[in-house]
Amino acid sequence: MDLIGILLSFITKFNGKMRQECDMASHTLAMLIEAVEYKNCKESANHFLSHLIDMKDATNGMSREAFTHCLMFLLKTNELAEKFVAGQGMMIYQRMLVNECIQNGQIAYNVCCGLWILTSLDAAMEHFTDFKLSIIEHVSKILDYFNKEKIVRIICMMFDNLKHNPLALEHLSMVNALNLVVKLQNRPWVDQEINAILERLFKYFD
């Protein structure tokens, strides 16, 4: 059975009318698209991403948690990541960074995870270094609101990927990334990966 097609048809037909069901269907669809690989569901994958981009400002569609969860899975595919960036996707994330991300820890994690994935995409780098968008500055402010290990880890991983870009390094300097790292090093972390990344960032920024 074409489960991807069935779920996509359900979501596009009932989105906004059956939010909980559409949220669950969207979660499943995004994971299925990643599992079967882009080459095997190209048309449906592109359709679903376009659907998400089109409803970026909708308040009566799927929840923001489901929306960002879906993007987190879809962006793992390079072709979809490139389409997301070309479709003003970084603007979508920028608006969420200054709104939903400072109100909801799960949304903050989902968005930061998506951004971390995009740090490996050359086409996205110009947006990370855009002083009008200030993506890096907004990401750093999330640390003022949440100290959950998964959020701290993904932001540190993002900074670790960005630090080699000269323009991105300027942004990191503007937010005093070294001071942020020192503050984080003074906290106890169960996840030893966080300590390792922080040590690596400290040596580089220092």
**126 CB-side CA count, 13 A:** 6
The domain limits of the chain are 1-87, 90-206
Instruction: Give which of 104, 99, 48, 97 is closest to 73, Cα–Cα.
Output: 48
Please state, in angstroms and as integers, the Cα–Cα distance from residue 190 to each residue in 23, 142, 173, following that order. Answer: 32, 20, 28
- In this prediction, residue 1 carries a pLDDT of 80
- In this prediction, residue 168 carries a pLDDT of 95
93 contacts 139 by C-beta, under 8 angstroms: no
pLDDT along the chain (206 residues), means of 10: 92 83 94 93 95 74 90 96 94 94 96 97 94 95 94 97 94 94 94 94 94
Domain made up of 90-206: CATH architecture: Alpha Horseshoe (1.25)
Q: What's the CA gap between 87 and 49, in Å, rounded?
A: 10
Q: What's the CA gap between 194 and 184, in Å, rounded?
A: 9
For the whole prediction, is pTM greater than 0.85?
Answer: yes
- In this prediction, residue 177 carries a pLDDT of 94
Q: What's the CA gap between 148 and 104, in Å, rounded?
A: 12
DSSP code at position 143: T
Write phi, then psi, for 40 (nearest 5 degrees). -95, -5
Q: What's the CA gap between 149 and 103, in Å, rounded?
A: 17
